[in-house]
Amino acid sequence: MELFRNTNIDFLGKKWYFLAFSLVFSVAGLISMGARYAKTGTAVPLGVDFKGGTLVYVKFAQTPNLGDIRAAMDRSGLKDPKIQTYGGPANNEVLIALEQKETSEQALDAGKNTIIKALETNPASGKNDLNNVGSTTIRDYLMSKDPLHEVVDPGAKYQQIASQIVDYRDKERGGVLSSVDELQGHVPADVVNALKTDYFTSGFGVRNVEIVGPQVGKQLSNQALLATLYSLGGMLVYLWFRFELIYGIGAVVACFHDTIITVGAFSLLNRDISLTVVAAILTLIGYSMNDTIVVYDRIRENIKLLRRESLADIVNKSINQTLSRTILTSGLTFLTVLSLYVFGGEVLRGFSLALVIGILIGTYSSIAVAAPMLVAYQEWRGHRGTAALPGPAPRKNDRVKVKA
């Protein structure tokens, strides 16, 4: 399918506009990263994956007020937590990220209990929160009260009832009971009455707690950086063998340009760089490289066919000839990642945002950065008196002369 026919856009004639565009966004991102590094010691906002910390997933019975949650955290001494909703709006779920980096089991329980106490705005005096206890606690309580007067293996009986209560709460009620009376009809009435004596239900439940240690975070950070550099190096070598070194350099510079602008955008928007964002950056590197190779391949073919034309004209024609393919492929991919960004929820927001920015910048760089570099290289060689065609080494009777 051809979206455009016989286009003749002078892309190289607009190279200074392209250069200005790239400089503005690259420099803005670098300034933001430099300012952040001077203030915090890290160039970009890192997620818990890299700097270590505690992630607490909380589900609320009603729509949570993030301002109230933040105020409750501050009152409890949990400074600067990152609080964000995740999942669909109807899920009423919030992710709280703390910079608590201890990895022991006791520290995990302590962090969880601190958050539970901070969120309990009006706890019942002397009672336990049924939404934030496990089956073992419920079993031990029922064994001490023995509401069913079990004489044969009460431990097994009350363990079964405690598991039924937790399963009903977590699987059927999403982790939050609105009242103890909700258990009526699911467990014996005497058990419900016993629980009502010493239990109440808060408006929230902690669904999960995860801890990433600082050492693991540092290792992940180093591995993410190495993965990015290795991918760029591998592609440079591949293009060096398939085309020539200048093609590989041009493609790697374009990918580096895409990465700087994307990471700079995350710094400007104060969005955390997580492992999923690194995965998105590696994806966009591959996507941008593929786009660039398509244009390079057409340039290489045209160099053999249009022997009397200048390299600038050949590059312009090649970009125009591949424009339909570029717009269609990039446009459809962009719509896909944009849908992911809009409807994918908070968990995928960083990943999809990196792809939304990366697809736009990657498409732009394959046209406005990678291809013009070949012409700039040719002109530089011409000024040195060693004009050479940046294409594959031609055969003796197939040598091409191109005006610089």
Among 386, 395, 396, which Cα is nearest to 404's?
386
Q: H or E element: which one contains 163? A: helix 154-167
Cα–Cα distance between 80 and 70 in angstroms, integer? 8
**Tokens 């994307």, residue?**
262
The b/e string for 348-368 (b: 16+ C-beta within 10 A; e otherwise) is bbbbbbbbbbbbbbbbbbbbb
Q: What's the CA gap between 75 and 150, in Å, rounded? A: 45
Mean pLDDT across the chain, nearest whole number? Answer: 81
pTM of the full predicted structure? 0.69
What percent of the chain is predicted at pLDDT more than 70? 86
Contact 80, 96 (CB under 8 A): no
Q: pLDDT per residue over 220-269, tens digit each?
A: 777 777 887 888 788 778 878 877 888 888 888 888 898 899 999 999 98
- Residue ranges with strand state E in 50-160: 53-60, 82-86, 93-98, 128-129
Which DSSP helix (H) or strand (E) runs through 19? helix 15-40
Task: Find which of 11-15, 155-159, 261-265 is predicted with most confidence, using mean pLDDT.
Answer: 261-265
For residue 302, the SS3 value is: helix
Residue ranges of the domains in the chain? 12-44+213-383, 53-211
Largest CA distance in the chain: 102
What is the predicted pLDDT for the residue at 163? 92
| Per-residue pLDDT reduced to its tens digit, 87-127 | 777 778 888 877 755 556 666 666 677 777 788 776 677 78
* pLDDT computed for residue 361 by the predictor: 92
Give the pLDDT score at 128: 84
- Amino acid 104: pLDDT: 61
Instruction: Work out the angle at residue 185's Cα, subtended by the Cα atoms of residues 184 and 191, and round it to the nearest 5 degrees.
Output: 55
Query: Which of 147 and 211 is assigned the larger pLDDT?
Result: 147
Place of tokens 């919030």: 94
Asked if CATH classification 1.20.1640.10 holds for the domain at 12-44+213-383, the reply, yes or no, is yes
As a whole number of angstroms, the distance between CA 383 and CA 400 comes to: 19
